[in-house]
Structure 1
Amino acid sequence: MARYTGPKTKIARKFGEAIFGDDKSFEKRNYPPGQHGANKRRGKKSEYAIQLMEKQKAKYTYGILERQFRGLFKKATASQGITGEVLLQLCESRLDNVVYRMGISPSRSGARQLVSHRHITVNGELVNIPSYNLKAGDVVAVREKSKSLEAIDKSLSNSSQVYEWITWNNETKQGTYVSVPARIQIPENINEQFIVELYSK
């Protein structure tokens, strides 16, 4: 499956924020890549460029390709509620994202790998589709055979984030996707309205 596997710091520098998590290289050079990167006199961006950049930031943040992302947007448009808000909620409801939020993996790409390598169960059933859409009340757990994995233990011991819409039990290594998060609860710095405007053209 096609995925971006290039240098992550370069992408983070492009957006001016560490979208892939803590990044020491980004902290040293937090200006855009390229020979004119540190030049503050760059031209003013067009409205389209700003909207496109916001969409790309969302796609890189959640690790979703264009076709999938467009599909999520269509689903959000057909749903009741504010389109941009529903779009982010659909991104947050993906299994790989929830595995990351629960602290089972320190990154979304790592969470995607755990899911596709059959280490995660949903309501007691093995699920190996990272884009699997969770519903409120679904129970996500580490597969019995995988509970002793060092990478999972290390990630859980370093995890300190708590999200109101997710519960997690370190003893049983399982948690519940309690509810769909409200926009105010989603910590990602994404202006979803720009994405809606871009796709609506």
Structure 2
Amino acid sequence: MTQRLAAGLDRQTFANRPERDATSGGLRSALRDGSRMAHDQLDTGFSSLDLGYDGDYAVFLLAHEQGLRWIFDHIDRAAPIPTAQALMPAMLDALGNDIMALGHQPLPQNPSDNAVLLCPWAVDYVVLGSRLGTEVLRRRRAAAVASAQTHTPADSYFALPFDAAMWREFCVMASQVCDRDPVAKRAIADTKACFAAFDLSLTQSRRHMSRAPTEHML
């Protein structure tokens, strides 16, 4: 199934980027519109982070690692394999390496609903969209490092390559699925579940860093 995690979930990536007619409409638009409120809430939380400050950057990394791990663990293995599934192990490894470079350890499992089984449309929409938005964040991080706001080299995640054609292919395929198809209702619900898991991970990451900011330093 060829289809396509601020942070990395910048709403401009999804809502404001120019698209050809072939990539809009149908399930593609339904996913964007149906998850907009959950996505906007998450975007507001991540946008408040200063990626040039190691404390905030650690929050970003911890939240993404835990949230992405929750998604990976809850993919519906009986459904077609999401395109994003092949990318996720490298993403998780890179996030883990960056977290440890900052002197921390990944958080325990996200306690979001463990009964959820995520359909491939939701997984690809969230994860591939996240990867597409990472370029903006990579530039923000690079500018922060250049201005000496941070001195810790921990950029394995931002260095990961991504082929934007994967997102475009997802948009084309999703636009061909009717938004009244039964799969659309599940895809929207699963997408909202992914954003909710990331939102919880962001909350937990903030709490972790504020409670013991130096406790896990190496």
Which interval holds the TM-score relative to the shorter structure?
A: under 0.3
Q: Which is higher, the Rg of structure 1 or of structure 2?
A: 1
TM superposition score normalised by structure 1: 0.25
TM superposition score normalised by structure 2: 0.24
Structure with the largest fraction of strand: 1
Higher normalized contact order (CA 8 Å, seq sep 6+, divided by chain length) = 2
Structure with the largest fraction of helix: 2
